[in-house]
Amino acid sequence: MTDKISGLVSFANTTSILNDMLHRDDDKMFASRTIADTVGQDGEAKEQNDIHFTSRIFEETAWLDKEGKVIPSMEIPPSITSPEYSEQGRKLIENLRDEVIASYNSRRVSEEQIKDKKLIDLIHCCPADSVFVMIDSIVIPFQKEHRDVNGVTGTKRDKKSTSIANAYILTIEGTYCFTAGTEREVTQRVLAYLVSNNMLANRELVFLVDGAKGIKSLVKEYFGFRPYSYFLDWYHLRKKCYELFSMALYGGKTNKERNATIRYEFFKRLWAGNVDDALSYLDGLDKSYIKSPTFFNAIKEYIGESKREHIYSYALRKELGLVNSSNRCEKLNDVIVGERCKDNSISWSDEGSLHIAQIKIIFHNQEDTDGKWFLDHEAKYHPVPLSSEMMKHMYAA
């Protein structure tokens, strides 16, 4: 109860709630420091649980070293390196895909139609055979080592923020989430989980990410031994381009409607995966609209060179009902870290923020069922069954 309440409100408020609820007298009242220490101990226990789980899986897997890297001399099972997928599932997707494209294109002009053959051919996965992985980080205010007390100036902060990395894993069997202090650690934990639950054999591995170079490098480093898809999430693609547009075009009330039209025409081409049409549209714009050629060219570089290989037909995946974004990980960031740690009035140490995140992950992964985790401090690392609505969605897709 202490841990669950502390994941929602401050330690001071947790103390007040518990004292009121348990009718504690003055000499038996909980202290907020005691509550904070309890949460810290449980959060650290879960962190050590994750570390030991990851190490154990790597040690037990003959073809991985202690860091989770493939040992060159060891043979990896062919079902992992050359996975075989459900032919029935693929045929269903392919047949439905053609119908969906024809219906979608019949209502749109050429530049908005789904037509890039390479991107169309990417839509071949069957949800029952797929493992969807979303990785993202969230930044929170960093706490001084010593704060100002009674007129004495505390230690100056060496940095103004700290971060927590989260991963969301979705399969037909269920979901599971990890949190860690770094993106490398959370990527290692994802690998250990997939190996432990035999989710790399004859599965399509799909990463939906925000386009950060660090995550891309880590995915290649830890999963480069097998085929996988790496997609740039629409939310982050649109957000980045929108920011560049705001700096590239002349603003003001008189240009507001025109700029909105420009963005709309650009994004509807990109939504279908038509990068070339989006670039052609930008090239055809009146140069008098452009305030900063540098930022305007940055848009073209971003979709044309930097991220082109990770852009897909968002429209087609949506029409097919496939998993189409990393919004689940974005929500995880909010639920696990943001709701408790992003308040402007508070700041966190690296350990403090991680402990709170680990406590919330315990409940999110339903490791607390029957209070078992708090009895033996042993996480199960098994999928949390999908809700009935999510199960319907996966099978419908």
Domain boundaries of the chain, sorted by first residue: 2-50, 78-233+325-396, 236-309
210 pLDDT exceeds 80?
Answer: yes
What pLDDT, on a 0 to 100 scale, did the predictor assign at position 27? Answer: 63
Average pLDDT value for residue range 73-92: 85
Average pLDDT value for residue range 258-286: 95
Give the pTM.
Answer: 0.87
What pLDDT, on a 0 to 100 scale, did the predictor assign at position 396? Answer: 65
Distance from C-alpha of 317 to C-alpha of 120, rounded to nearest angstrom: 9
Find the range with the poorest average confidence among 109-123, 129-143, 293-307, 334-348: 334-348
Which of the listed ranges 39-48, 87-96, 137-146, 215-224 does the model predict with the highest average pLDDT?
Answer: 215-224
User: Listing from the earlier edge strand, what are the strands of the sheet with 229-232?
Assistant: 174-180, 161-171, 130-141, 204-209, 229-232
Other beta carbons within 10 Å of 116: 19
Average pLDDT value for residue range 181-194: 95
Find the range with the poorest average confidence among 18-32, 137-151, 164-178: 137-151
Determine how β-strand 174-180 pairs with β-strand 204-209.
unpaired
- Which H or E run contains 268? helix 253-271
- Which H or E run contains 353? helix 350-364
Of the pLDDT bands very low, low, confident and very high (cuts 50, 70, 90), residue 348 is: low
| Contact between residue 377 and residue 45 where contact means Cβ atoms under 8 Å apart | yes
Beta strands (DSSP E) in the chain are: 130-141, 161-171, 174-180, 204-209, 229-232
Average pLDDT value for residue range 273-299: 95
